[in-house]
């Protein structure tokens, strides 16, 4: 189906991500909906990006010959002339994620990529590189859209809003609600494309409050009853690592206590930290599992393309979540479609009885001016208390980064529901500081 839409240039920042080959597949699948003239692959690590370059080049030469393809480690080449930045850096890479996930376990604290003390340390790292990226992009253009996956999205989104308050072309994304809705669709045996949700919270700290389809059929009570009586499995359970399968099942545990709404998988770290710590292996955490599964599989497929000039016998990778969401968001902006997504937006009264400056995660639409959240209304005391505490942690973390303020960092960690104890907060903060000198400094 030829749509003759305006063509764009995109820059993939963090192109050494093991998720990028599948993102390229999504771009190929959606070339009529979101056509491109040029794709710039940018990373600071040429060796890592190089592991996938032969594949990226071959699959695009085969299925997207009209697109110009550039690989670079030069920030200026990456950002000087581009319509969209698809940003997915892992600042400090797996090496630092390993510290994020392992060091807290020494103190009986949750070790996780985006939540708890690991999320604090990761947020401090990401804000530095993200600030540098935005400044570089904006030194060339105020019009380039920055679509960002770089985590922890909660800290990055709030920090960039504080650092660039007038920049209206930065949009932070999370694929978790989109991914969970795919799993809900499979459970309910309905097409995901027709499903719509209502949701509220902060990033990786929220709840589904409704689920219905475009024909007006409501599925929320049916889904909630299912999840109270059956193990929750992801739509792609057969492809997921054990730690993710365990994560999904803990949603059932949460709902044995609180079943008004359906929680994101990430809330478990704040409700069952001790159990999760007990089940954690301080020598082998999610980063190791991801390296030995997703990364290993992707690098193996990409390795098949080295020296080849056809894709014969080589699978084209795609991803029904990460890459698909990013491209659909870019499409909705580029052509002002106002499609519905779960979006990260400034509260500003969407939840009237919650902090107006918080970045909340709610249902909404995306068009040429970015994301607009649907009005949600007041939230009950239980959720308000949880979110105000979490927002205070997020806000103090951003302050600690901007002001290089040790005391605010300690306050942030002490507030975090997975830490609480100031002795442990100080111990983990000092440990993280000792390994983070290349990324952040506190005075
Ligand atoms: N928001 C979401 O819901 C969501 C979903 C999935 C992944 N992510 C995030 O996306 C990012 C990528 O994760 P992954 O596992 O796919 O990637 P990865 O760890 O496989 O690779 C990340 C790449 O980023 C590069 N990088 C680091 N600093 C950079 C910088 N300053 N400029 C350019 N590139 C830089 C690294 O060299 C590496 O090649 C992470 O932050 C991850 O947490 C977010
Ligand atoms: O542990 P990882 O590196 O495999 O994934 C961490 C990310 O997990 C979430 O995204 C998941 C998504 O929720 C899941 O269903 C599947 O589709 O993979 C996605 C990653 O592409 C979460 O939203 C991200 O913030 C995490 O970084
Ligand atoms: Mn996410």
The string of pLDDT tens digits covering residues 105-148 is 999 999 999 999 999 999 999 999 999 999 999 999 999 999 99
Question: Is ligand 1 within 6 A of the CB of residue 75?
Answer: no
Q: Is the alpha carbon torsion for 7, 368, 180, 355 positive or negative?
A: positive
Return the pLDDT at 3: 82
% residues pLDDT > 90 (the chain): 98
Mutate which of 175, 243, 317, 322 for ligand 2 pocket (most atoms within 8 A of beta carbon): 175
Nearest-atom index, ligand 1, CA of 49: 39
Average pLDDT over residues 324-353: 98
- Rounded distance between C-alpha atoms, residue 91 and residue 14, angstroms: 9
Residue 4 C-alpha to ligand 2 middle, in angstroms? 33
Residues with CB under 5 A from ligand 3 (ion): 174, 176
pLDDT digits (tens, 9 = 90+) for 179-218: 999 999 999 999 999 999 999 999 999 999 999 999 999 9
Residue 22 C-alpha to ligand 1 middle, in angstroms? 14
Question: Is ligand 2 within 6 A of the CB of residue 176?
Answer: yes
Which of 242-251, 285-294, 327-336, 398-407 shows the lowest per-residue confidence on average (mean pLDDT)? 242-251
DSSP code for 218: B
Residue 196: CB atoms within 10 A of its CB come to 12
What ipTM was assigned to the predicted interfaces of this complex? 0.98
% residues pLDDT > 70 (the chain): 100
Return the pLDDT at 242: 87
pLDDT band at 239 (very low <50, low <70, confident <90, very high): confident
266 catalytic residue (yes or no): yes
Average pLDDT over residues 317-324: 96
Question: Is ligand 1 within 6 A of the CB of residue 21?
Answer: no
Residue 17 C-alpha to ligand 1 middle, in angstroms? 6
- Rounded distance between C-alpha atoms, residue 91 and residue 125, angstroms: 6
Nearest-atom index, ligand 2, CA of 286: 1
Question: Is ligand 2 within 6 A of the CB of residue 394?
Answer: no
Token pair 């859209």 in the structure block, residue: 145
Return the pLDDT at 419: 98
pLDDT digits (tens, 9 = 90+) for 144-170: 999 999 999 999 999 999 999 999 999
Annotated active-site residue in 42, 149, 266, 270: 266
Average pLDDT over residues 19-29: 98
Residue 1 clears pLDDT 80, i.e. is over it = no
**What pTM was estimated for this model as a whole?**
0.98
pLDDT band at 2 (very low <50, low <70, confident <90, very high): confident
Residue in 364, 410, 411, 421 with CA at minimum distance from that of residue 389: 411
pLDDT digits (tens, 9 = 90+) for 64-98: 999 999 999 999 999 999 999 999 999 999 999 99
Residue 278 clears pLDDT 90, i.e. is over it = yes
CB 360 within 8 A of CB 351: yes
């Amino acid at each position: 189906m030829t749509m003759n839409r305006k063509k764009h240039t995109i820059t993939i920042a963090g192109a050494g991500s093991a998720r990028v080959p599948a993102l390229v597949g999504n771009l190929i699948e959606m070339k009529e909906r979101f056509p491109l003239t040029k794709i710039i692959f940018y990373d600071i690590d040429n060796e890592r990006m190089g592991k996938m370059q032969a594949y990226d080049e071959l699959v695009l030469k085969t299925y997207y010959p009209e697109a110009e393809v550039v690989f670079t480690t030069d920030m200026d080449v990456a950002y000087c002339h581009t319509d969209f930045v698809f940003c997915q850096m892992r600042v400090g890479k797996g090496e630092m994620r390993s510290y994020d996930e392992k060091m807290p376990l020494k103190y009986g604290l949750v070790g996780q990529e985006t939540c708890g003390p690991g999320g604090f340390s990761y947020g401090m790292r990401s804000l530095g590189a993200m600030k540098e990226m935005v400044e570089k992009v904006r030194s060339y253009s105020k019009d380039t859209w920055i679509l960002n996956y770089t985590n922890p999205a909660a800290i990055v989104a709030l920090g960039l809003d504080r650092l660039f308050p007038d920049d209206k072309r930065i949009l932070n994304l999370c694929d978790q609600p989109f991914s969970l809705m795919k799993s809900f669709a499979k459970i309910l045996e309905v097409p995901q494309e027709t499903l719509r949700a209502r949701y509220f919270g902060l990033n990786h700290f929220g709840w589904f409050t409704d689920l219905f389809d475009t024909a007006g059929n409501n599925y929320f009570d049916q889904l909630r009853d299912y999840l109270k009586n059956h193990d929750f499995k992801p739509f792609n359970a057969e492809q997921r690592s054990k730690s993710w399968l365990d994560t999904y099942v803990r949603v059932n545990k949460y709902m044995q206590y609180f079943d008004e709404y359906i929680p994101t998988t990430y809330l478990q770290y704040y409700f069952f930290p001790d159990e999760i710590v007990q089940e954690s292996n301080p020598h082998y955490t999610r980063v190791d599992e991801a390296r030995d599964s997703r990364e290993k599989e992707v690098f193996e497929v990409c390795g098949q393309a080295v020296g080849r000039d056809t894709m014969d016998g080589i699978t084209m990778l795609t991803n029904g979540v990460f890459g698909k969401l990013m491209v659909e968001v870019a499409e909705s902006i580029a052509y002002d479609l106002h499609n519905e997504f779960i979006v990260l937006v400034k509260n500003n009264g969407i939840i009237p009885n919650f902090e107006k400056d918080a970045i909340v995660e709610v249902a909404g639409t995306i068009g040429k001016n970015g994301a607009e959240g649907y009005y949600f209304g007041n939230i009950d005391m239980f959720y308000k208390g949880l979110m105000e505490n979490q927002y205070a942690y997020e806000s103090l973390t951003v302050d600690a980064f901007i002001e290089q303020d040790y005391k605010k960092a300690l306050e942030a960690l002490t507030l975090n529901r997975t830490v609480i104890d100031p002795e442990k907060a100080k111990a983990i903060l000092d440990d993280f500081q000792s390994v983070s000198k290349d990324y952040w400094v506190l005075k």
